[in-house]
Homo-oligomer: A and B are copies of this chain.
Amino acid sequence: MSETPDDHSIDGRSRNQTSEDARVARTRADVSAAALEVLTTEGWDAVTHATVARVAGYSKTTLYTHWPSRVDLLGLALDVLGEMPHHTPTGDLRADLIGEMTVFRDAMLALRLDRILLALAHWGAAEDEIARVRSRLVADGESVVREVLGRTAQGTRLDAAVAMFSGAVVCPVLMHGRAPTDEVVAAAVDIVLHGVAPD
């Protein structure tokens, strides 16, 4: 039952199928990019079939046919989000932690990770598929700080330190509407480093 690629290219029906696949893939890419754009510029509340269809330049009917729920649109946006930005560790513990926290803070503002995080938090609690994407993105986001802090803390202390490290950026943004200053970032790193150091 298998066909070689040549069978596809010389058979009329297969060629149509290939063309159809390409069209669907292009639609998917366009709609995914539009969904991410709406999510990051306007927030989750604006991610509706009507708004995403308008931004992507497709009909609402096309969107509803392929992606019937708003959570489907969120899934598309997350598919094209890519990897989290990171500081490249140099081996200097304090400088690496300040560098990584600064990259995270700047990404909250530049990439609107705050809006992505809000959508992930809301939908990850209810939808298994979004929870899986959230786990992957958070693991990626925490990977560098977990590796760097792992040099001085393990187990429960490492889990607590990683959560506090993220919190030093996330809580000011979500709860106070402002990112931490460079001084607060440095103070947070010093507290964690001092706090996890052996007595």
- Which A residues have a C-beta under 8 Å from some C-beta of B? 43-45, 114-115, 117-118, 120-122, 124-126, 131, 134-135, 138, 141, 156-157, 159-161, 163-168, 170-177, 180-181, 183-185, 187-188, 190-197, 199
Q: In the bound complex, do residue A160 and residue B187 qualify as a contact, i.e. CB atoms below 8 Å apart?
A: yes
Task: Contacts A43-B122, A170-B167 given; indicate if A138 touches B191 (C-beta within 8 A).
Answer: no
Task: Contacts A177-B124, A177-B134, A195-B192 given; indicate if A163 touches B172 (C-beta within 8 A).
Answer: yes
Q: In the bound complex, do residue B168 and residue A163 qualify as a contact, i.e. CB atoms below 8 Å apart?
A: yes
Q: In the bound complex, do residue B125 and residue A175 qualify as a contact, i.e. CB atoms below 8 Å apart?
A: no
Contacts of A194 in B (CB 8 A): 194-197, 199
Task: Contacts A138-B175, A170-B170, A171-B163 given; indicate if A196 touches B191 (C-beta within 8 A).
Answer: yes
Taken together as a complex, chains A and B put the C-alpha atoms of A160 and B191 apart, in Å, by: 8
Q: In the bound complex, do residue B117 and residue A122 qualify as a contact, i.e. CB atoms below 8 Å apart?
A: no
Taken together as a complex, chains A and B put the C-alpha atoms of A156 and B184 apart, in Å, by: 6
Q: In the bound complex, do residue A176 and residue B138 qualify as a contact, i.e. CB atoms below 8 Å apart?
A: yes
Q: In the bound complex, do residue B122 and residue A157 qualify as a contact, i.e. CB atoms below 8 Å apart?
A: no
Task: Contacts A43-B122, A122-B44, A170-B171 given; indicate if A164 touches B138 (C-beta within 8 A).
Answer: no
Taken together as a complex, chains A and B put the C-alpha atoms of A174 and B122 apart, in Å, by: 8
New contact pairs (12) apart from A43-B126, A141-B175, A166-B175, CB-CB < 8 Å: A44-B45, A117-B174, A118-B121, A120-B174, A159-B184, A160-B184, A165-B167, A166-B167, A166-B171, A170-B171, A191-B192, A191-B195
Contacts of A199 in B (CB 8 A): 194
Taken together as a complex, chains A and B put the C-alpha atoms of A180 and B118 apart, in Å, by: 19
Whole-angstrom distance between the Cβ of A51 and the nearest chain B Cβ: 15
Task: Find the B residue at minimum CB distance from A188.
Answer: B160
